[in-house]
Structure 1
């Protein structure tokens, strides 16, 4: 017979269940008797008082209220029960007596907060009449009043849970974790210092030049294999980038001197972070499921050293979680290495962590549903300074942004439940499927779970059914093992108090898998009957006969068991054939699995074991999880050129399949020649394979996919045909958040895209532009309501700038302004060009330091700020090939003045070609000697190797240069940032040469140049450019502007043209004199005349003004009449 548990043996959760039953019995007895309020309160208080005594704290009874309170860092430090006579409350908040009782409770909570100087958000209460309960608390600046719920076993358990929270341990919130385990805490500094010292010692070479501790070395190598796929530490922390990390590490007493040491520090950090996640996961499930499964509290681990090591070993092996019925929380990782490098420093530091964690209470997440969020994101976010995380490319989605995306993508699930829609909403909660294909640490997953749980409580839905629905329908994938671990723990914490209702062991549906490079069946004669599984250590081929839902997991388990027991390859094959009996099996299949097995044995022998069989199992998930109603998330924003070479090669066919690569004129793919982003590929792949027809996809994505030429393939919004049927994607909505800078002011251009599978995109597309309210502030930690209060949202429309090309850049404007802008659009009479490209500015850019009597010039090359370092020299050159250099910094609105010189060794008769080497040696020997000094660096230029050398050009040749470069008059503006045009002619008697970041328009006369300059600087031109281009981006002012914005040819007989030219001259003089007071009048007249050039009516100008009002006031002209 099992031992009968006494009250002393019961966990708090079991006490809550027992006393809820007891309280329900009391209510069933007394409520039918219709007692008065005083008698009712007396009978209930006897149960509550006994319950509190068993928990070890006292309830304070006042005249009309029960009041409990204890520690400052518990969830609620005051809890109030307001009693009403049984039968007095109704089933609606609109019921008069219910409404009155709620208002009375709210006023009492306010008074209690004032009198006891408490935070109102830390006080909660309930109105209770024995028939109904109304739960009330204060959050986000308002009282949250739940609708009345009947007094059932479940709602009475909730009442006792809220009451007991005042005696709980530390609330499990992101804020408390950040406070206790941030870098400023001595316990965090101690553990990082101890782990770093232990790792350094273990990796030091011994007398035989081998690592002192081979096991630690192997685990470290295994971590390197995985994380080198996404992070190059030599790049992330090379040169000056190392300094912020050094400063941060010194807080923990760690000296970092190189990128290699930075890599070790991050291994230590990941270890610390992973251990916290595992311990919190154990804390949550052990508190909820103990003592029925015999799990021990963390405090009991703190015995002698052997006990502590054994407990941690059990934790790291995953056995403690499997004992608790959590099958896949831990599947083997690299972070248990500290057990093999154990020393006194590590032990002391670990004890400090365990002691503090033992004070935490994980029931917070059930008690306060809005705290169900990604707990570890904020801890990691504040553990490392911003510049360090940005060096690593780590940008974590703010909760408010994730919540907004969910509401935008699945609005049906965020409606307020009403009696009319309850049945339909219940079915949605139980059957709607969600996937985050790049889930990171689980932000979107836990917010989804929180919403589903809130609806489950409101509808209500049985806890067992709700748990099963969540586990079946809320799924995540990620490539990063640390992210997957963290997401699984976050997921576990979000459902922890539902675990007692489980029917079977739990498999957390967060998988270590690549959403893009899913296992693919081969297409050639030799591989068509096998799947290729890509991993960090190469690809594994698995016969298709084994890649079936009912077989594959068993195959992976057998693979792992045989590797661990060192089974011979032939014996392994025999066991597969006998135990799995795969259908359609042949000799080639046997050879494939033998080869795979031998490879895994080899990795095992190298110490790189522990993950690979389980990794295959996880990799298979995208093929077996089915399709989803909603796909949501923040896919990685990584440009093609920054992807690891192996990943680029492995995904080439996918870029071509989805037509995202762009093409050359001959139709050949030009992947790498345009700035394509991997987020676009993930969008198409997951929409194709994992999104149901009619399903919605919502992604945080870079706004550049709508505004740049590189996004043309993405803007097709069409999946490859299937059975000769078109499969379009419909853009439902885009949020433009570029100016909000939601990722800690990082200049990544943020947008939220929502699309639907199966319908074509119809233009206009709803396009919401977000702007900050002047003087308003919000932070990374702000709530969505706080961000909404600090911003304005403007409803615009989007459509292709070229009506004949649906893939052209999007034109975005206020609906009334679109028609007006159409008058401005079209091909200009002029062609724009790029300035001169050297690919090595510190060789060609120089300053004059001395002029010889014969005219020769001593020059010194400009190396300051150069990306590529070259030696600085002073040498004499002939003046003939020296030209005034116009750099981006030299160009302002209505003013351009060269500030340096450039050597241009081009043939004056054919400026597009370099001066022949033999002629340069004779005609300009000093210039040739100067260039010859840098020959090695010049031949290593990317543009020379890829373009000029193939054209037979000299080693010093330049690009983007021709007769237009030497035009006597030019209109110039910078390619990057806001368009600010000026007219430039000559300087020191020579034509001015613009650099490559400047766009130029060659002109034959000053009048024509000033006419064009006035048009380009007009507010209408600026607005048209911003409407379809990347405002403030690197491609804002490129040559494409004149392909889409019409500028009529200058007509000297047209008085409007002549006046515009004259006004531009005046503006140049005004700016040169610094007379800004007059500039506004001139620019206002230019705007009026420019409107006449395009034939804009006053009503059309009003529409443009209305759109301009949504842009920052300091960035546009005042168009008010």
Structure 2
């Protein structure tokens, strides 16, 4: 192949390939081609099949610019998958009749391997996928780099909630810290969750890149100053992730507000974006700074036990634990009504689904196997699906299963069995409608995974007070400004804890 090669991988690690049309759009938007003609050294550090460099060559041909060896020497591609590099070089030869320089193509893992080149401009589209969704072996290899770049505090954090950190955040920190020349620029398509994600991307929003093994002795600041968010145009077909194009400035302190363009009815409408409160907080989008209302804390009085939570998570075993009709062969005390969209759409409190929770209500802990064996039908049913349940993945679930509780679920605790819940739809919505749910025949309503979030309550009066407080129109306004409308993090517990100032009440009275 003749390509600089060291480490390589042939598995999918979140590749999202950029159509040539949109590679050219990015290049034109930021005048990158002209910068190249003026002498800039340009690199795509996660090149995939080379769409951005191919786009540069297409533009050169359209503008009748001769592809001299000097011009080509200022284009560099780095890619982890060798077959993609082979394809890229063949296409350059077939399309343009030139050999792409071997000295400018590198088969490397840009995260784990040292690359010695330094560039004026970085362009591209880093892989998009959560840490938790990476191939197991690769995940083990790159854990230390998430810590090194400050994306998580320690290895344990990558095993828990921070498994939602997108690998794009790690790639960006690595390349901005180690590949940019002084005051260099970066232009990338990236998930908007890097700016608006609740807890997982706080480490990205310190705007500092580790530059060990680079020419720079200290960590390097970087800043985002312009963003274009696509809302209706499908740049990447079949991708449900919200995405944008952003400009990064190396060796620059992050300042706010950021100029933020949103696509509305085919036009780019300028907004301003700034963090909710602290510099590392999720961003808020407003059309004018006068709209920014996050400075005023929205207080709701809650006890320590009442922090917002997600619903029950079966960890891939919905078919085992969730039923369309209430089974008659299990003890009724282990079957609970499950919240569904009909509650909000049809304003009905008749259950459409039921969930099996083999748990102690008082402790919120799983039943022991000895206790389960007292119920023949329940015991037989769980044994029938034992292999399925034991094959479930997830570090938090495995912790419980390693204690022998292979029938355990996530998101179950004493709070699950509070007699009242203030519950709302938390995923993919654009309206915020909290309601109060209590029980059906003495069985408490349960939320369904990330679809719902709730605050547990131990009295009817407390539940209605909290519901009334949550109906403050400023809460909906702020959720919309946090750019989560229609997205998975619309009103998730982490976001709600950010936008509300919870005044804790130390003592509460439990209802009998």
In which range does the TM-score fall when normalised by the shorter chain?
A: 0.7 to 0.9
| More off after superposition, 439-448 vs 758-767 | 439-448
Q: Which residue of 725, 733, 740 corresponds with 2:233?
A: 740
Per-residue CA deviation, residues 459-518 of structure 1 (Å, 9 max, x unaligned), is xxxx5xx6133112122222334432332244346654xx7xxxxx97366524125156
Q: Please tell me whether the aligned partners of residues 736 and 752 of structure 1 are also in contact (alpha carbons under 8 angstroms).
A: yes
Q: Please tell me whether the aligned partners of residues 627 and 692 of structure 1 are also in contact (alpha carbons under 8 angstroms).
A: yes
- 1:1053 corresponds in structure 2 to none
- 2:183 corresponds in structure 1 to 694
Gap change, CA 1:229 and 1:1044, over 3 Å in 2: closer
Q: Which residue of 650, 666, 675 corresponds with 2:141?
A: 650
Greater radius of gyration (CA): 1
Gap change, CA 1:1013 and 1:919, over 3 Å in 2: same
- 2:275 corresponds in structure 1 to 800
Q: Please tell me whether the aligned partners of residues 835 and 999 of structure 1 are also in contact (alpha carbons under 8 angstroms).
A: yes
Gap change, CA 1:890 and 1:512, over 3 Å in 2: farther
Is 1:963–2:452 an aligned residue pair?
A: no
Deviation of the 1:954 alpha carbon: 4.0
Q: Which runs of 5+ in 2 are unaligned?
A: 1-6, 505-512
Determine the C-alpha separation between the residues in 2 that align with 1:843 and 1:973.
Answer: 25
Q: Which residue of 178, 188, 207 corresponds with 1:717?
A: 207
Query: What TM-score, normalized to structure 2?
Result: 0.82
SS in 2 for 1:431: coil
Q: Please tell me whether the aligned partners of residues 885 and 898 of structure 1 are also in contact (alpha carbons under 8 angstroms).
A: yes
Determine the C-alpha separation between the residues in 1 that align with 2:400 and 2:434.
Answer: 31
Gap change, CA 1:1020 and 1:689, over 3 Å in 2: same
Deviation of the 1:631 alpha carbon: 0.7
Gap change, CA 1:511 and 1:1010, over 3 Å in 2: same
Determine the C-alpha separation between the residues in 2 that align with 1:740 and 1:1018.
Answer: 33
Query: What TM-score, normalized to structure 1?
Result: 0.40
Q: Which residue of 161, 164, 171 corresponds with 1:675?
A: 164
Q: Which residue of 1008, 1019, 1022 corresponds with 2:476?
A: 1022
Query: Which structure carries more helix by proportion?
Result: 1
Determine the C-alpha separation between the residues in 2 that align with 1:990 and 1:715.
Answer: 43
- 2:101 corresponds in structure 1 to 507
Q: How does 1:37-76 map to 2 (within 5 A)?
A: none
**What is the aligned-residue RMSD (CA, Å)?**
3.5
Gap change, CA 1:483 and 1:916, over 3 Å in 2: closer
Determine the C-alpha separation between the residues in 2 that align with 1:400 and 1:936.
Answer: 48
Query: Which structure carries more strand by proportion?
Result: 2
Q: Please tell me whether the aligned partners of residues 307 and 455 of structure 2 are also in contact (alpha carbons under 8 angstroms).
A: yes
Gap change, CA 1:735 and 1:823, over 3 Å in 2: same
Higher relative contact order (CA 8 A, sep 6+): 2
- 2:370 corresponds in structure 1 to 918
Deviation of the 1:641 alpha carbon: 3.1
Gap change, CA 1:1044 and 1:955, over 3 Å in 2: same
Q: How does 1:594-993 map to 2 (within 5 A)?
A: 622-623=115-116, 626-660=117-151, 662-663=152-153, 667-668=154-155, 670-673=157-160, 674-708=163-197, 709-720=199-210, 725-771=218-264, 773=265, 791-803=266-278, 806-823=279-296, 829=302, 831-839=307-315, 840-846=317-323, 859=328, 876-887=329-340, 890-892=343-345, 897-910=350-363, 912-922=364-374, 924-942=375-393, 946-950=398-402, 952=403, 954-978=405-429, 979-993=432-446
Gap change, CA 1:493 and 1:815, over 3 Å in 2: farther
Q: Please tell me whether the aligned partners of residues 9 and 80 of structure 2 are also in contact (alpha carbons under 8 angstroms).
A: no
Q: Which runs of 5+ in 1 are unaligned?
A: 1-224, 232-392, 415-424, 458-462, 500-504, 521-621, 774-790, 850-857, 860-875, 1051-1121
Determine the C-alpha separation between the residues in 1 that align with 2:388 and 2:76.
Answer: 51
Q: Please tell me whether the aligned partners of residues 1030 and 1036 of structure 1 are also in contact (alpha carbons under 8 angstroms).
A: yes
Determine the C-alpha separation between the residues in 1 that align with 2:219 and 2:300.
Answer: 33
Determine the C-alpha separation between the residues in 2 that align with 1:741 and 1:689.
Answer: 32
SS in 1 for 2:77: strand
- 1:1031 corresponds in structure 2 to 485
- 2:53 corresponds in structure 1 to 445
Q: Please tell me whether the aligned partners of residues 971 and 983 of structure 1 are also in contact (alpha carbons under 8 angstroms).
A: yes
Q: How does 1:493-642 map to 2 (within 5 A)?
A: 495-496=96-97, 507=101, 511-517=105-111, 519-520=113-114, 622-623=115-116, 626-642=117-133
Q: Please tell me whether the aligned partners of residues 16 and 128 of structure 2 are also in contact (alpha carbons under 8 angstroms).
A: no
Determine the C-alpha separation between the residues in 2 that align with 1:968 and 1:1036.
Answer: 26
Determine the C-alpha separation between the residues in 2 that align with 1:898 and 1:449.
Answer: 60
Gap change, CA 1:432 and 1:896, over 3 Å in 2: farther
Gap change, CA 1:1000 and 1:894, over 3 Å in 2: farther
Deviation of the 1:635 alpha carbon: 1.8
